């Protein structure tokens, strides 16, 4: 059972930050779709006989999901995840929350629900903006692949948000929560970059097993590879496991109230 009063307060405290990040992401995607449309039109005009360009808009737009859609939401997730629990314990405001007739499970479940819901809402808006821009520009994309790109990035960020939320529930210090909640996603990013150099040194390919980033494989998604299925399942399992662990730990931890 959720605490309606706490959920309203959490929404009030974070909606501006959420809106700013969401608008920035939506504008970037709109620009990417427009640029893809313009680029393909110019390429088609330059081709002899007005032939079709051997490159799809879906491939161009997918670059957005390997860059902006990976990095920018991390800012929202890490900062918000820390604010939901650890920062409130650190500042002492959790004592005020717990002084009301509300159980620990309600607090942790409410905050987890907000973070999950806000991330899901963010990528729902982005997907709808992308679809609207496709309709306006008339660019041809594989809509099935586009939906899967959005589903994949959502699952990826739910997994990352689960890690940040678990750290927020475990640590009473905001600094330690941020160190773990932000440090692990940064390490994932670094490991995925190192894995990209496997063509130079085979042993560097091992780093792909140390990063969740490699589980969001846009190449597999665009090819509708069966690898995509188990990658999505792992991301979902990580997200569910981390959120559950955070909620259970918060229920039992000693709070400096």
Residue 257 placed within a domain: no
Residue 163 placed within a domain: yes
The better pLDDT of the pair 92, 2 is held by 2
The whole-number pLDDT of residue 138 equals 86
The whole-number pLDDT of residue 208 equals 86
The whole-number pLDDT of residue 200 equals 67
pLDDT in tens, 49-87: 554 454 578 888 888 999 899 999 999 999 999 999 999
Residue 201 placed within a domain: yes
The better pLDDT of the pair 147, 50 is held by 147
The whole-number pLDDT of residue 257 equals 60
The whole-number pLDDT of residue 96 equals 77
**Tally of domains within the chain:** 1
pLDDT in tens, 5-49: 999 999 999 999 999 999 999 999 999 999 888 877 666 565 555
Contact status, residue 41 vs residue 127, Cβ threshold 8 Å: no
The whole-number pLDDT of residue 39 equals 72
Residues spanned by the domain of 53: 4-252
The whole-number pLDDT of residue 49 equals 52
C-alpha span between 94 and 75 (Å, rounded): 23
Residue 91 scores a pLDDT above 80: yes
Residue 138 placed within a domain: yes
- Where do the H-state alpha helices sit in the chain? 4-46, 57-66, 68-84, 86-91, 93-99, 104-137, 143-170, 174-195, 218-222, 227-252
The whole-number pLDDT of residue 175 equals 94
pLDDT in tens, 164-194: 999 999 999 999 999 999 999 999 989 988 8
Buried/exposed 28-39: b ≥16 CB within 10 Å, e otherwise: bbbebbebbbee
pLDDT in tens, 206-232: 888 889 999 999 999 999 999 999 999
Residue 12 placed within a domain: yes
pLDDT in tens, 99-121: 777 888 899 999 999 999 999 99
Contact status, residue 158 vs residue 236, Cβ threshold 8 Å: yes
């Amino acid at each position: 059972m959720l605490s309606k009063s706490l959920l309203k307060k959490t929404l009030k405290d974070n909606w501006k930050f959420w809106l700013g990040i969401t608008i920035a992401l939506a504008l970037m995607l709109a620009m990417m779709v427009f640029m893809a449309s313009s680029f393909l039109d110019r390429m088609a005009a330059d081709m002899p006989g007005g032939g079709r360009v051997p490159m799809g808009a879906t491939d161009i737009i997918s670059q957005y999901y390997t860059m902006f859609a990976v990095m920018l939401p991390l800012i929202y997730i890490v900062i918000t995840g820390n604010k939901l629990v650890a920062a409130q314990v650190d500042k002492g405001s959790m004592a005020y929350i717990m002084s009301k007739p509300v159980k620990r499970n309600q607090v942790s479940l409410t905050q987890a629900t907000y973070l999950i819901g806000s991330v899901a809402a963010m990528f729902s808006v982005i997907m709808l903006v992308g679809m609207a821009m496709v309709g306006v520009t008339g660019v041809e994309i594989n809509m099935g692949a586009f939906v899967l790109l959005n589903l994949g990035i959502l699952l990826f960020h739910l997994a990352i948000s689960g890690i940040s939320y678990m750290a927020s529930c475990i640590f009473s210090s905001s600094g330690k929560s941020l160190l773990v909640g932000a440090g692990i996603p940064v390490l994932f990013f670094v490991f995925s970059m190192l894995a990209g150099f496997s063509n130079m040194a085979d042993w560097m390919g091992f780093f792909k097993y140390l990063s969740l980033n490699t589980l969001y494989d846009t190449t597999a998604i665009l090819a509708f590879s069966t690898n995509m299925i188990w990658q999505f399942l792992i991301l979902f399992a990580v997200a569910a496991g981390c959120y559950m662990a955070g909620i259970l730990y918060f229920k039992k931890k000693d709070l400096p109230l």
